[in-house]
A and B are shown apart, each in its own frame.
Chain A
Amino acid sequence: MIFPVDAVERTDHETASTNVYDAVVVGAGVSGAIVANELSKAGKSVLILEAGIGDGTLESYESYVRQFYATAFKDNQSPYPPNADAPMPRGPDARKIRPGQPDASAYLVQNGPFSTDTTYTRVLGGTTMHWEAKALRMLPQDFNMRSEFSQAQDWPLGYDDLEPHYRDAEREIGVSADVEDQAYLGMTFPEGYVFPMRRIPLSYLDKTVAAGIDGTRVELDGHHYELKVRSFPQARNGIPNPDYDGGNGYAPIGAVSTHQVDEGGRCQGNNNCVPICPIQAKYHAGKTLAQALQNKGRVHILNKTVACKVHIDPDTGRVTEIEYKSYGDPSSPEHVVGTVRAKIFVLGANAIENARLMLASGLPSTSGLVGRNLMDHAYLLSWALLPEVAGTMRGTNCTGGITDLRGGSFRRRQAAFGVDIHNDGWGWAMGSPYTDLINLVDAQNRFGPALRRDLIDRISRQLQLAFMIEVLPSESNRVTVDPSYKDQLGNMRPVITYNIPEYTMRGVAYAREFARKLYQRLGAADYTMYDPTDYGYVSYEGVGYVIRGGNHLAGTHIMGTTKKNSVVDSNQRSWDHRNLYLVGGGSMPSIGTANVTLTIAALCLRTAQQMLRDLDKQAAPRELATH
């Protein structure tokens, strides 16, 4: 996919500030890219403000890959250089929080009591630059949590409303899956629908686990659930399905580059999907941006430009302009200030940054809910050694898992979860395979053939199950700002107050027992150990667990039916500021057990249609400058 060579350079701040665009979009992640693409397809002019670096060249992408290969600590953000002007949370930032003493040592100021290691990425492409690319739909019951389970609140739209947009999203981000695998727990597809590409095959490790547990029955809340290892839908290029689009097929979108490069049209099984696919077979928002830049409507991008204030007309409540700070050298505080104007404004900067920007602009909304109801999936990891070599470490990162407990009547009482089988072994929990090597060499003095043998014995039998556990909205889990905590540019940093709700902890406790049961069936030796000194350590009913963040941020500007119970309407339009859209995970009133990106993409595709209706209603306030 060609990214026009001068796309980022050709827009200067002077041009941007003299234009009145149809839309100004804050954030060049998946939400912003989809909105920009849909609007410019219809001929609208769009300016995107991206806080971080990035320019769409293959050189910059490959510099990220090189940085990842070279770094010793391979966390989600390791490909991306530190940027004091647009800082981002990093995995190793999290510290244990002492009561009453917020940890302000890193970008996120953490009030606790739970210390989260959740992250999001601030570069062109946003968090799709480190995501795993699982592309699950939410279940129909996930939209009706209040009416079905007396929990959280119902969405103002249902599965059937979103279903056509899910299909569009599956095309936009290129999903590989088979409908036969995905039609479960009420998820429906129109007659004859196939995904753009066939499913990514289950790994040998998945099949080994399946051989041991398929058909196992568990009882929960009086119901029996039969377990099955199932393939996950993924936004990663697989074999195109010739039946897609009524027999027209699908052409996978490969690597983004400023010149022709034929790469990334198929996943090669490299096993570092998280954080970065070396060949761009995994979707990232740059692919949609590249498309947007070739549409008939003009799309301008300003990178290294941090939106810092949303200005409102006090009489109408409408947004008049967005103020930004633009920097050159990410290590220097030097910057220039400017403003940009448009008919509509779109904040697509992720749940934490959208809330931060609104609150820093003094706009908590009528409901007072901006920043509240912060959600993120809680991950419980569990790890064991299988009795036989199972080929662990053959990519991609995750191909299969157990999804049978994503839904059911038990959700009245406890959180649902999905289970990932990690093809990268104990990587997330224990730092494998690097830590295995260090241990064998340093502590066990292995070398030569004995070292090779022991490495294989130890690594290719590893089984790590990651339980992705539902977290419900809670008003006390929130993002705030505080003038005493600012970044280098003087922008207020997000302050996070977060606790794992009891509903989730009941799911956590059940997940731990569930893992034990699976290991018994598999004859696997359970090595799971939760260290009380870990920052993510949480006790529940006398038992300790370590919870990790899921990077599935949501809920800080939830959608609802009135301006009293929500920040945005079902089109992600602000109740208070009618030419302002807050898009992305923040609009989701609950997150179920689906990784959020596919739903975010579907919502943005739906919202873009409303934006076009809005724009068509508005008379052009003045001539557009021609540049």
Chain B
Amino acid sequence: MTTAKITTVKRLHEYLHAAMKIEHATIPPYLTALYSIHPQTNSDAVHVIRVVAVEEMLHLTLAANLLNAVGGTPDLTAPEFVPTYPTKLPDGEDDFEVSRERFSKDCIKTFLNIERPGKAADEASRIVTMDEDAGVSMLATVPGEPELRFYSIGEFYTEIKRGLKYLRDELHDDLFIGNPARQVGPEYYYSGGGEVIVVTDFDTACEAIDLITEQGEGLGGGIHDDENELAHYYRFKQIKNERYYESGDEPGHPTGPELSIDWDAVYPIKANACVDDYPDGSELQEAALRFNASYADFLRLLTRAYTGNPQLLLGAVADMFRIRTTMTQLMRNPIPGQHGVNAAPTFEMPVLVGAAA
């Protein structure tokens, strides 16, 4: 049996850094799918994906609060904070890859995998040994034991919870020693569903973790979380089934109105595009580099916000509008020489020094 116990604060910090990385890693794929949809079309799908993306940002913020609470320092500018896509997320039986790709049935299938509920069958299978697929980027490996990874994101957070409990019993008042001024509270953060939780002790830490996992996969096998909000998995199911869930529905039996999806009202963007896909010196390449530079700036801003300047998050709303504008600019433009394939933002971090025009 493989075990990965969190027994030191250092290891806990590694886990929470990894948590921030996981929460962020879903955002470029969700935003890419969202903005690949033609403007003013597919209202139903746009609302579903947008809400999930916004809540992933809430999860990112909660993970930062958790890390800050136990004396860590969030850093979204660290090397490899943004994965290289396609990347793998932790999942047990069926390995799947997450790509930055256009809105499509395949992409929704991937999103369902990301948010998929379910516990590992037993204690032994919570953590699985990684296969030999060295060419693919890997997330949520077990910190300190890079050949291991968790069955699901839920299991990963369960481990953090266990570690917090273990360390609380060991260290008592010396665990939650973080500066409370670094906590992001509801006055600085709004997500639409679920409120940001200020983490100051074991109970609030568990609340934050529960919010993250329930918003993803639902509470106790139901479709809703603790706040009667539909879980991400079932939100995406609505797109797949083209029917809404209503309050009180059982999983698999949506009874709400139909969604109307137009799978063709989508820009045909290149999946997992990288800067090298665009002709050297082309306007497209310049725009892609500019986008990466501005996204790097955005991650720097978030790092500052999560390290004592939470008020910066209020202004970050305007940055999200700018990110949308620059992403859609790229997606509207075909790549020269690649018939019928459009450009897309590449999210390649860190930005090469001097590369941006």
Contacts and interface: CB of A to CB of B under 8 A. Distances in A.
Contacts of A242: 186
A427 B153 CA distance: 50
A610 interface: no
A1 B221 CA distance: 25
A66 interface: yes
Given A58-B43, A69-B40, A239-B190, A261 B51 contact: yes
Nearest to A239: B187
A242 B245 CA distance: 31
B244 A262 contact: no
Contacts of B246: 259
A532 interface: no
Contacts of B229: 260, 262
B307 to A, nearest CB: 22
Contacts of A58: 43, 47
Interface in A231-273: 239-240, 242, 254, 258-263, 265-266, 268-269
B190 A269 contact: no
Contacts, number: 44
Nearest to B321: A268
A266 B40 CA distance: 21
A59 interface: yes
Contacts of B187: 239
A260 B230 contact: yes
B256 interface: yes
B276 to A, nearest CB: 29
Nearest to A61: B43
A69 B47 CA distance: 19
The main secondary structure of chain A at its interface with chain B is loop
Interface in B222-267: 229-230, 244-247, 256-257
Contact of A254 (B192, B245, B256): B192
Interface residues of B, number: 22
A263 B51 contact: yes
A620 interface: no
A269 B50 CA distance: 18
A5 interface: yes
Contacts of B317: 268-269
Contacts of A266: 190
A56 B82 CA distance: 41
B193 A258 contact: no
* Interface size range on A against B: 20 to 34
Contact of B192 (A62, A258, A259, A262): A262
B357 interface: no
B43 A59 contact: yes
B314 to A, nearest CB: 8
A263 B193 CA distance: 9
Contact of B190 (A5, A62, A265): A265
A263 B50 CA distance: 9
B244 A62 contact: no
A59 B42 CA distance: 10
B318 interface: yes
Contacts of B244: 259-260
A40 B138 CA distance: 56
Contacts of B256: 5, 258-259
Nearest to B244: A259
B43 A262 contact: no
Interface string B37-62: 00010010001001100100000000
Nearest to A58: B43
A276 to B, nearest CB: 14
Given A260-B244, A263-B51, A66 B190 contact: no
17 contacts: A5-B256, A69-B40, A239-B187, A239-B190, A240-B186, A259-B257, A260-B244, A260-B245, A260-B247, A261-B47, A261-B51, A262-B51, A262-B54, A262-B192, A262-B229, A263-B192, A268-B317
Given A254-B192, A258-B257, A263-B192, 15 more contacts: A5-B257, A58-B43, A58-B47, A59-B43, A66-B40, A69-B40, A259-B256, A259-B257, A260-B230, A260-B245, A261-B47, A261-B51, A262-B54, A266-B190, A268-B317
